[in-house]
Structure formats: C-alpha cells, structure tokens
Amino acid sequence: MAEQAVTDTTHTYPEASDLRSIAADFSSDRQAFRNVSWGKAMMWIFLLSDTFVFSCFLISYMTARMSTTVPWPNASEVFALTIGGVTLPLILIAIMTFVLISSSGTMAMAVNFAYRRDRRKTAILMLATALLGATFVGMQAFEWSKLIHEGVRPWSNPWGAAQFGSSFFMITGFHGTHVSFGVLFLLIVARKVWRGDYEHQRRGFFTSRRGDYEAVEIMGLYWHFVDLVWVFIFAFFYLW
Amino acid sequence: MVDVPLGSAGVVAAPDVEDVELYHPHSWVTKYVFSQDAKVIAIQYSFVALSVGLIALVLSWLMRLQLGFPGVFSFIDANAYYQFITMHGMMMVVYVLTALFLGGFGNYLIPLMVGARDMVFPYVNMLSFWVYFLAVLILVASFFIPGGPTGAGWTLYPPQAITTGTPGGQDWGIILMLMSLMVFIIGFTMGGLNYVVTVLQARARGMTLMRMPLTVWGIFTASFMALLAFPALFVGAVMMLFDRVLGTSFFMPAMVEMGQPLDRNGGSPLLFQHLFWFFGHPEVYIVALPAFGIVSDLISTHARRNIFGYRMMVWALLAIGALSFIVWAHHMYVSGMNPYFGFFFATTTLIIAVPTAIKVYNWILTLWRGDIHLNVPMLFALAFIVTFVNGGLTGLFLGNVVVDVPLSDTMFVVAHFHMVMGVAPILVIFGAIYHWYPKVTGRMLNDALGKLHFWVTFLGAYAIFFPMHYLGLMGIPRRYHDIADMAFVPPSAHTLNAFITIVALIVGAAQLAFVFNLFWSLRHGRNSGGNPWRATTLEWQTPETPPPHGNWGNDLPVVYRWAYDYSVPGADQDFLPQNQPGPSRAAPGAGHG
C-alpha cells in the first residue's frame, strides 16, 4: 500500500450539505457533532434511551393484549364521559392531548425568547408550559380516580382482560411521572431564568456550575419528547 | 488511518471550544468520597465491583462444593443452592463485569485516552457511582432478610420466579433483586451518558474518532449498547415487580399452584424472556467489547507492533454491537416460541462470527513477527485470545438450533458461557489491571506474584470449564442441586465433578495472591515512572503520575498521530506517543486496514 493521502479533517465541504458533510463532521477532531453542546448531546442520547423504555412498554402492552384469553375492553366506552346527558367517547383524552400539545407550543416559544435573552417572556412561557403540564397530570389523576371508582384495578376490571388495567396504570403512570418531573424541572429552570442566573453566571446549588440559556432548549427537548410519546400512547392505547 | 503531516492547519486548528471550567473539591469528603473526579469515581467503582466479585466467587465455591461432594455440606440444601446460583450469576454479569468495564475502566481511561480533563458531567458521574452503590447494597441486603435472596436462577424467568416454592418468590428476595436492578440501570444511565458524550464531544485537539485507541472504541460502543439494552431489562423488572406486588398478570398464565388455581390468567411468560434476552444478549457484548478493545491495546503495546487492520477492528466492533441486538432469541430455542424464529435467529447469530473472526485474525496478525514481551499483561491478553476462541467455537454449536436442542440446559452451556463471557473478560480485566495499575498508583505490581496468579488462573480455568463440555455431552443437566440419583450418570461424572470442585477452590484461593499484590504493591511496588510500558496512548503521557485532578496540568494535549505507532522505521525510539509531533509514519503498508 502506498502512502495514504493527506486528509484535512476539518474541511467542511460548503457546497455539499449531504452525507459528505456528515462524514466530515464525524472525521473531525474534538467533536463528532459540530457546535452541539455537551448538555444537548447528552439529552438527545438520553431521549434515545428513553425511547427504548417506552417502546418496550408499548410492545409489551401489545403482546399482553394479543396473548390474553379474554376480550379486551372497548376503549371508546371505557374512556367516555357523560356531560350534560351526552356520552362523548374519549372526550377527556382529547382535551388532555390538546392541552399537552399546546404546552409544546408554549415551550417552543419559550426557547425562542430565551435565545433573545428576554427573561420575562421566557419565564412566563415556561410557567405557562408547566401549568399546562400540571393540568394534564391533574386530568390524568381525574381519569385514574374515575376508573378506580368504576372498579378498575391493576389486577382486574369489570369489562374483560385484567391486563387492560395493568397496562393502563403502568404506561400512563410512567408517562405521567415523566410529565411531573418535567413540570418540576420547568419550574426550576423558569426560576433560574427569572432570577437572571444565566446572565449573572450564578452557580447551581448542587453542581456548583454555571448554567446557560441553553438549559431552556434542553428542557424543551425533553418536553417535546414527552409530548411525542403521548401521541404514541394515545394512538396505541386509546384509539386501538 | 488519517495521517496528517506536521503543522497541517486542519488538525491543530485553534480551539473552537473553550477549555472547561473544572470543579475543584474543597474538602476531604468532596475529594475522595463524593468525588467528581472521574479517576476517583473509577477507583470507587472498581473497588466495589471487585468486592462484589469476591462475594460471587465464594458463592461459586459453595455451589461447587455441593456439586463435587453432594450431601457432605448439609447447609447447602436445594433452596440455598438456587440462591447461590442466582446471586452468583446476576452479581458477576451485571454488578461485576458491567460495572468494572464501564464504570471502572471507562471512567479512568476515557478522559485520559481522549485527552479530556474529566467526564463532561462530573456531578452526574458522581451520582452514577452512588446510585450503583445503592443498588449493590439493596442486592446484598437480600442475604439478610427472611427467606433469603431470590433463587429464581439468574435469568429470573417467570412464572416460577414469583411463585411459592421458589426461594424468595413469595418473600422479599425477588422484590429486592428487581429493585436493585432498576436502581442499577438508573445509575448506569447516568454514567453511560457521560461516557458516550465524552467520547463524542470532548476529545483533544487532533483526536479524531479514527485515532482513538481501541480501548475507547470498545468502551464507547458497549456504553451506547447498554443505553439501548438496559431499557428492556428495566421494563421487564417493572412488570415483574407489578406481578409480584400488585398481583397483575403480565407474565402469569393461568396456572395451578399446590393444587390450587392461582388468581391469575392471560399473561405471557415468553414476553419476559424476550425482554430479558433483548437486554441479555447485548449484555454479553457489553462485557465483551471493552475486553476486545483493551486486549487490542495490550497486544499492540506489548508486541511493539501497530494493531493490524485498525479500521476493520473499529468497524467489526460496531458491526458486532449492531448485530447483537437481533440475535437475542437464540437463548430461547427450547422456550416454545415460533420455530421459524429459530431459523432467523440462528442465521443472525452465525453472522456475528464474521466480525468476531476478523478481530481474532487481526490480533494474531498483530502478534505476527512482533517483538513479544511475555510480561504479565501480555500473558493475560494471549490467554484471552485462546479462551475466547475456545468459547466462541462452542458458540457455533449452540447457535445452531438442531445442535442446541439436545445441548440446551446441560453443563455444555455452562462451559460455553463461562469460557466466553466469564473467564475471557476476567482475564482481560486482570491483564488491564496489571497494565494500568502503574498509571493509577505510580508503582508496578509484583511480577512474580503476577505470573503465579496468571498461571494458576489460566490453567485452572481450563481445568474447571473444559471438563464441563464432556459432562454436558453426557447429558448432565445444569442447575440441578443433586444428580446422584440419575441412573444414566456414570461414576466417572461424579469423579470429574469432584475434580472440578477441587480446582475451583484452588483457583479461587489464588485470587487472594492478586488481592494481596494490589495492596502490597501500593506501598512496596517498584516505582514505575510515567510510562513503564513505553506506550503511545495519551494516558501514559500525563505530566504527573498518578495524574492529578484535571489530568493535564495547564495545557491540554494535542494529538498528531494514531495510537499505534510502534517500531516505526527511522524513529529514534520504538514508539511514538500520540501527542508527539513529527514526521508521519514512513513505513509503507504498515497497518492500513
């Protein structure tokens, strides 16, 4: 083999924005993802891992649904609400989904204002997001208590396969936990933004490290992910 | 290889990322206990993992005593035997090997080898260790509760894992085991994110991915795989915990227990097996890939020769990592799943032999005409290659459905996986400890004790596990507390079992020489200097040994070459460190994959 050709590892191929630029990024030194901060890279990889968690939950639910020997309850009837004498199937879930997707909108706006360094609007929008998230969790609690009153338990329910209740409480509970943690961290980051921590380079209470406005965007990544997961839960659990 | 001549503007570009601000500990507690320094965390991880390893070793002794001399030790009844099996397996696979390779070697070597000051999120890294420690405490606590630890077998198959009659099934044993696993996974995720992001985003100037030592590649690939594989175990553990605690029926079919129908139905025990092995098979490679990487570096360093086919080694690592996610059901040929699955999974399983064989050939070709120094790390590395080939060949037997079916659940399986993922990775761990101990402590481990440790361990491991193949072919089942009454078992099998037990006791005791060596050399070992093996990789080029907080003093290293410039013709010494500027390798054809 002859001497290898010299390769400039940081050449960026400005005209070729396709695979070659990806290859250039990956063959460069220091960073595989150019100008992606450590925090953002970490959140993306965490979300990939979390995707596997939710996929396993949903696939397990589908397997349970297929392998059980008794009929599966009809989601449209179970999740119906009677409002003013009219029975509306899935009405609560529809509202919950609307609330959660709206919260993604306010989150995206918060990220935008964070990059404009507009502390007040960022904090308010994050608080709005947290409020919508809390509303979602509250409605979920309402739904849980309604079903529990009707006799649904993790180990049995009045309408059919016991795995219905098991899967329902497990999957929505796990997702609700994600939303609740999201609300908690939204409040923390909103407080930091409001107080100007990211401008005054104030150090974190636990980590003693300085934060950055990018925290808002990283928070946003998580929040949009939780939203996206809900769409799949909605499709596979409630609509199927 | 990407060869860049001295002064090329591309590689040694002005830093576009500022040097990081380091966290500086203020007290003894933040420096050594709740430390955020990856090197201290690595030692904490290694110490805890090795301690768990000693517990698991004693458990294996107890099992062997029962198998070799059935009935002699009355305290080892069937329940105790199953508890020992379960805890031995789970401890060794998850809490020792995974934690040691990723938490121990990963934490120590990644930042040093890629030229970083620390992991990217030291605080999260610290949490990772303490959460791991909590998981270990929960696991060990199960020895001290009524009913004892779970005896479900390390694979924890339902429904028997949570039914009456299985030790710990209706007590706390299985609950603590599942909780411990969940906590472990949470702790690992924190660490794993750090390892992956540090490799991807925090390398030194000039350190391209294709210049990284294979050790880093191995640990990186394994960490990434673990982030994708552990979720399946997590979900399986959550569901089984609900089955046990809440009375759900995810994994519980309609069944009769003690003559009474259970109040469960409609669950799928096979679902757990799929979840478990979707984690469990990648787990084999999560343990093996760091070993592959480390052994590549040991061989190259101690044979004074560049690694053969570096690029292919990297691609083989990645190929093995990817393929290992689509082979899991080869653990389930006799489980009653759809037989067509067997065809698919046997095919994918055998395909993995291709990248694995590439690696073995490349190790051998690296040794070919090398200047082989038979020191202790090299002995362990060579022993790894033969052991891994040995275990890999029996893998070909077990990967084929028709051959696997009669061998399933015999001692042949025990022999296979102990060779391939028990003995082989542990040999690498020993080799790696002998190799990097001088960097960690500044002193060499005692050579004579090391050689004694090596020969007893290596020959002993063969004396233990090689005969098990014969036992398996005879049809001796595994996981049986007592085989004395089986008519088909010839007396020679009992003699062989007694022989294995005696060797196991000797080999286990020989590990004390190693433990003694670790502590003795701490004070009395020969002073090693910064680079006793005259190795090229960055961790040997630190300004001080052991490396201080921040690793590199004032200036971060700049990397000019790949990690394997050994015996370069025309160079004034037989190795060129990665951070040494100078003419690029002139040897035509040297090691391009």
Which tokens belong to B123? 């605080």
Residue B431 CA to residue B375 CA, distance in Å, equals: 10
Single-letter amino acid, residue B181:
L
Using a pLDDT cut of 90, give the percent of chain B over it.
83
**What is the predicted pLDDT for the residue at B359?**
97
Residue holding tokens 């391939």?
A: B420
Phi-psi domain of B513 (left: phi exceeds 0; alpha: psi -120 through 50; beta: other): alpha
Which tokens belong to B30? 């933040």
pLDDT tens figures, B238-261: 999 999 999 999 999 999 888 889
**Residue B184: which of B279, B250, B60 has the closest Cα?**
B279
Alpha carbon separation from A174 to A167, A180, A230, B174, B239 (Å, rounded): 10, 10, 11, 22, 12
pLDDT tens figures, B118-171: 999 999 999 999 999 999 999 999 999 999 999 999 999 999 999 988 999 889
Contact B123 A206 (CB under 8 A): yes
- Res. B584: pLDDT tops 60: no
Chain B residues near residue A60 by CB distance under 8 angstroms: 235, 239, 250, 271, 275
Buried/exposed code over B500-522 (b: 16+ C-beta within 10 A; e: otherwise): bbebbeebbebbebbeebbeebe
Chain B residues near residue A168 by CB distance under 8 angstroms: none
Measured in degrees and rounded to the nearest 5, phi and psi for residue A156 equal -165, 165
**What is the predicted pLDDT for the residue at B199?**
96
- Res. B6: pLDDT tops 60: no
**What is the predicted pLDDT for the residue at B587?**
44
- Give B506→chain A minimum CA distance, Å: 43
Chain A residues near residue B121 by CB distance under 8 angstroms: 38-39, 42
Residue B229 CA to residue B324 CA, distance in Å, equals: 10
CB B388 within 8 A of CB B285: no
Find the radius of gyration of the CA atoms of chain A. Answer: 23
How big is the CA angle at B473 (ends B470 and B477), to the nearest 5 degrees? Answer: 100
Which tokens belong to B127? 């949490």
CB A15 within 8 A of CB A6: no
The total number of residues written for chain A in this structure: 240
**What is the predicted pLDDT for the residue at A106?**
97
Residue A101 CA to residue A231 CA, distance in Å, equals: 9
Contact B254 A42 (CB under 8 A): no
- Residue ranges with strand state E in A80-239: 80-83, 86-89
Residue B81 CA to residue A169 CA, distance in Å, equals: 37
Contact A163 B266 (CB under 8 A): yes
Residue B93 CA to residue B283 CA, distance in Å, equals: 8
Q: Cα B558 to the chain's mean position, in Å?
A: 31
Residue A201 CA to residue A211 CA, distance in Å, equals: 7
Phi-psi domain of B41 (left: phi exceeds 0; alpha: psi -120 through 50; beta: other): alpha
CA-nearest residue to B12 within chain A is A29
Chain A residues near residue B588 by CB distance under 8 angstroms: 1-3
Within 10 angstroms of residue B19's Cβ, the number of other Cβ atoms is: 12
Q: Which helix (H) or strand (E) holds B238?
A: helix B214-245
Residue A216 CA to residue A123 CA, distance in Å, equals: 10
Which tokens belong to B366? 């690296």
CA-nearest residue to A71 within chain B is B266
Residue B126 CA to residue B112 CA, distance in Å, equals: 17
Contact B196 A45 (CB under 8 A): yes
Number of Cβ pairs < 8 A linking chain A and chain B: 180
Q: How many CA atoms, within 13 angstroms, populate the side-chain half-sphere of residue A156?
A: 5
Candidates A35, A155, A209; nearest CB to B247: A155
Alpha carbon separation from B240 to B159, B182, B235 (Å, rounded): 9, 11, 9
**What is the predicted pLDDT for the residue at A16?**
57
Candidates A28, A42, A59, A178, partner chain B, best to mutate (most B CBs within 10 A): A42
Q: What residues pair up with B575 in beta bridges, in sequence order?
A: B566
CB B249 within 8 A of CB B163: no
Chain B residues near residue A9 by CB distance under 8 angstroms: 2, 4, 10-11, 208
Using a pLDDT cut of 70, give the percent of chain B over it.
95
So what's the ipTM on this one? 0.92
Residue B99 CA to residue B49 CA, distance in Å, equals: 6
Q: What residues pair up with B477 in beta bridges, in sequence order?
A: B410
**Mean pLDDT within B490-503:** 94
Q: Which helix (H) or strand (E) holds B148?
A: none
User: Mapping DSSP to helix (H, G, I), strand (E, B) and coil, where does residue A183 land?
Assistant: helix
Residue A76 — very low, low, confident or very high, per pLDDT cuts 50/70/90?
confident
**pTM score:** 0.93
DSSP state of B101: I
Please indicate if any CB of chain B lies within 8 Å of the CB of A41. yes
Please indicate if any CB of chain B lies within 8 Å of the CB of A162. yes
**Residue A46: which of A180, A230, A218 has the closest Cα?**
A218
Which tokens belong to B91? 């401890």
Residue B547 CA to residue B441 CA, distance in Å, equals: 9
Candidates A26, A27, A33, A49, partner chain B, best to mutate (most B CBs within 10 A): A49
**Residue A126: which of A135, A139, A113 has the closest Cα?**
A113
CB A224 within 8 A of CB A178: no
Please indicate if any CB of chain B lies within 8 Å of the CB of A161. yes
Please indicate if any CB of chain B lies within 8 Å of the CB of A4. yes
Contact B265 A69 (CB under 8 A): yes
**Domains along chain A?**
38-239 (1.20.120.80)
Contact A64 B21 (CB under 8 A): no
Residue A207 — very low, low, confident or very high, per pLDDT cuts 50/70/90?
confident
Does a cis peptide bond (omega within 30 degrees of 0) precede residue B532? Answer: no
Residue A129 CA to residue A193 CA, distance in Å, equals: 14
Single-letter amino acid, residue B162:
I
Single-letter amino acid, residue B382:
L
**Domains along chain B?**
31-253+265-541 (1.20.210.10)
Chain A residues near residue B23 by CB distance under 8 angstroms: 207-209
Q: Cα A136 to the chain's mean position, in Å?
A: 13
Which tokens belong to A91? 């009405």
How big is the CA angle at B20 (ends B18 and B24), to the nearest 5 degrees? Answer: 155
Residue B103 CA to residue A65 CA, distance in Å, equals: 38
Which tokens belong to B97? 């090997």
- Res. B590: pLDDT tops 90: no
Candidates B5, B227, B242; nearest CB to A6: B5
**What is the predicted pLDDT for the residue at A20?**
84
Residue B484 — very low, low, confident or very high, per pLDDT cuts 50/70/90?
confident
Candidates A2, A49, A155; nearest CB to B228: A49
HEC secondary structure over B241-253: HHHHHCCCCCCCC
Residue A210 CA to residue B246 CA, distance in Å, equals: 44
- Res. A7: pLDDT tops 80: no
DSSP state of B162: G
Q: Which helix (H) or strand (E) holds B321?
A: helix B310-323
Which tokens belong to B266? 């409609």
DSSP state of B160: G
Round the average pLDDT of chain A to a whole number and report it. 90
Using a pLDDT cut of 90, give the percent of chain A over it.
68
Buried/exposed code over A185-200 (b: 16+ C-beta within 10 A; e: otherwise): bbbbbbebbeeebbee
- Res. A1: pLDDT tops 80: no
**Residue A101, burial from CB neighbour count under 10 angstroms (0-12, 13-18, 19+):** middle
Which tokens belong to A46? 């965490």
End-to-end CA distance of chain B: 8
Residue B8 — very low, low, confident or very high, per pLDDT cuts 50/70/90?
very low
Chain A residues near residue B266 by CB distance under 8 angstroms: 64, 67-70, 161-163
- Res. B2: pLDDT tops 80: no
Residue A22 CA to residue A20 CA, distance in Å, equals: 5
User: Mapping DSSP to helix (H, G, I), strand (E, B) and coil, where does residue A162 land?
Assistant: helix
User: Mapping DSSP to helix (H, G, I), strand (E, B) and coil, where does residue B74 land?
Assistant: coil
- Res. B322: pLDDT tops 90: yes
Q: Which helix (H) or strand (E) holds B260?
A: strand B260-261
Within B482-553, where are the H helices? 491-524
Residue B434 CA to residue B448 CA, distance in Å, equals: 12
Calculate the dihedral angle through the C-alpha atoms of B194, B200, B201, B206, rounding to the nearest 10 degrees: 130
